[in-house]
Amino acid sequence: AQSVTQPDIHITVSEGASLELRCNYSYGATPYLFWYVQSPGQGLQLLLKYFSGDTLVQGIKGFEAEFKRSQSSFNLRKPSVHWSDAAEYFCAVGNQAGTALIFGKGTTLSVSS
Amino acid sequence: SQTIHQWPATLVQPVGSPLSLECTVEGTSNPNLYWYRQAAGRGLQLLFYSVGIGQISSEVPQNLSASRPQDRQFILSSKKLLLSDSGFYLCAWDWDSNTEAFFGQGTRLTVV
């Protein structure tokens, strides 16, 4: 069955430090992959997506993610974190069954000064 | 451009009262529509999805129901709310289950 795992429930990073949020997926074919961000009390906003082609994708707000088929991973990265990046981050994969995207349980990012 | 509206933003309801949350999409036709519930530490739980008017699929048996009376309108309802219905409810739409989904701003429901 398709699934998405975000191993880290909560991560704290110092402002200006680099960030990597992990995402592993289980999928029977070439996946469509997404990263969303959710600020407190808000809906989800798409950061970036991967459908095909270059395995390193650039997104909004300085984020990037790399698709690694051999590791079934789609980790999100940012070279220098800003305090405004504190939020919850969700990884998602497209659904072969034709229903909704499959989401991970999310990683909460805290940024310390 | 497409927009999605969800209301109300917050709601406090007593146990046993009815519920109606509304979601509308503008700027597109025949979207897939979704209702999610988000509880702390549990991620996004898909409650219902709809691929067309009157077509509702339920992912999880519960005290809630959904209806799609018009192409771009999706309503989440309950006849009698339970304390466990408290949570953050998100409406979303997309064109295809493998494409980007667009989310509303959410409704914070507190059942007291």
Chain B: which residues have CB within 8 Å of chain A? 6, 32, 34, 41-44, 46, 49, 57, 59, 88, 90, 92, 94, 97-106, 108
Q: How far apart are CA B103 and CA A46, in angstroms?
A: 9
Residue A60 CB partners (closer than 8 Å, separation 6+): A46, A47, A48
Chain A: which residues have CB within 8 Å of chain B? 9, 32, 34, 36, 41-46, 49, 90, 92, 94-95, 97-101, 103-106
B102 interaction partners in chain A (CB closer than 8 Å): 46
The pLDDT of residue B76 is 97
Residue B59 has what DSSP assignment?
S
Q: How far apart are CA B28 and CA A29, in angstroms?
A: 29
- Determine, for residues A99 and B105 on separate chains, whether the beta-carbon distance falls below 8 Å: no
pLDDT tens digit sequence for A48-85? 999 888 999 999 999 999 999 999 999 999 999 999 99
Please say if the pLDDT value at position A28 is more than 90.
no
Render the burial of A71-110: b for 16+ CB within 10 Å, e for the rest: eebbbbebeebeeebbbbbbbbbbbeeeebbbbbbbbbbe
Please say if the pLDDT value at position A95 is more than 90.
no
pLDDT tens digit sequence for B15-53? 999 999 999 999 999 999 999 999 876 788 899 999 999
The pLDDT of residue A29 is 77
The pLDDT of residue B43 is 83
B42 interaction partners in chain A (CB closer than 8 Å): 105
- Determine, for residues A94 and B90 on separate chains, whether the beta-carbon distance falls below 8 Å: no
CA dihedral A11→A14→A17→A19, nearest 10 degrees, is: 10
Among the partner residues A32, A34, A41, nearest to B106 by beta-carbon distance: A41
- Select the residue from B97, B99, B102, B105 to test the A interface by mutation, using most A Cβ atoms within 10 A: B97
Residue B18's DSSP bridge partners are: none
Q: How far from each other are the two terminal CA atoms of chain A, in whole angstroms?
A: 41
Query: Per the structure block, which two tokens stand in for A83?
Result: 């305090």
- Determine, for residues A101 and B90 on separate chains, whether the beta-carbon distance falls below 8 Å: no
B110 interaction partners in chain A (CB closer than 8 Å): none
Q: Are strands A10-14 and A107-112 parallel, antiparallel or unpaired?
A: parallel
Q: How far apart are CA B88 and CA B40, in angstroms?
A: 9
Q: Hey, is B40 helix, strand or coil?
A: coil
